Amino acid sequence: MNPFVDLQKRSIDLPEGCKDLFDALQTTRSQSDSRSRYMLVKSLQEAERFLAGLLLTPTHLTYISIDVPRQQHHLQICPALDALCIAFRIDGGDKGRLQRIRKLFRDTGISSIDDSFGGIANHTPFRMLIYPLPGIAPDAAQLIARVLRYGFAVPEKSKLYFSYNEQAVA
């Protein structure tokens, strides 16, 4: 027996009711209500309904990511500055798309939180655009569908891939 190790004392504090580290890890896993999910929708109309339902659920969304087929652009819905926002990463060379998205939000009376140079990806500069979304879930879902339809020229019968993370509200 090692004279420097006192088996009667713990070297770390375990949560109440845990006799060893394995118990502590199992308790943490069972208490975590955060989960990542994935969804494939087959039309913009289905995407709008899915988003409205997702935004109405009593969970805390950490993000919703929307992958647009055959495009390098990226859309993400996430909380920022105490509001639910939509963030875009747009190829800087695609001036028409930038103008369409800016006009769409300007016409709805929504000002950007950020519209700046975002960096370079695949040897191409990109811009970051962040806009707050309406506080009413169906209105936010409708605006996101309009962005996909007019800003990204996504056809009505397109497959869209959603990934999202939600955490149960205590």
Q: Specify the higher pLDDT residue, 31 or 64.
A: 64
67 inside domain: yes
- CA-based nearest residue to 160, from 54, 50, 63: 50
* pLDDT for 2: 55
129 inside domain: yes
* pLDDT for 54: 86
15 inside domain: no
Measure the CA–CA gap between 127 and 41, rounded to whole angstroms.
27
Fill in the amino acid letter for 132.
P
What confidence tens digit (pLDDT) does each residue in 101-146 have?
999 999 999 999 988 887 776 777 888 889 999 988 899 999 999 9
* pLDDT for 17: 61
5-9, 50-54, 82-86, 153-157: least confident range: 5-9
69 inside domain: yes
117 inside domain: yes
Record the tokens describing residue 163, joined without a space: 């990934």
DSSP notation for 6-65: -TTS-SSPPPTT-SSHHHHHHHHHHH--EEEEEEEESSHHHHHHHHHHHHHSSEEEEEEE
Measure the CA–CA gap between 62 and 169, rounded to whole angstroms.
12
1 inside domain: no
25 inside domain: no
pLDDT reading at 28 higher than 70: no
- Listed in sequence order, the residues at least 6 apart from 46 whose beta carbon sits closer than 8 Å to its beta carbon are none
What confidence tens digit (pLDDT) does each residue in 34-51 have?
677 888 999 999 999 999
Q: Give the SS3 label for residue 75.
A: strand
Identify how many contiguous H helices and E strands the chain contains and give both numbers. 4, 7
What is the tally of structural domains in the chain?
Answer: 1
Of the pLDDT bands very low, low, confident and very high (cuts 50, 70, 90), residue 149 is very high
Angle in degrees, CA 53, 83, 121, rounded to 5: 90
11 inside domain: no
The parent domain of residue 100 ranges over: 33-168
pLDDT reading at 87 higher than 70: yes
Q: Specify the higher pLDDT residue, 29 or 114.
A: 114
Q: What's the chain's average pLDDT?
A: 79
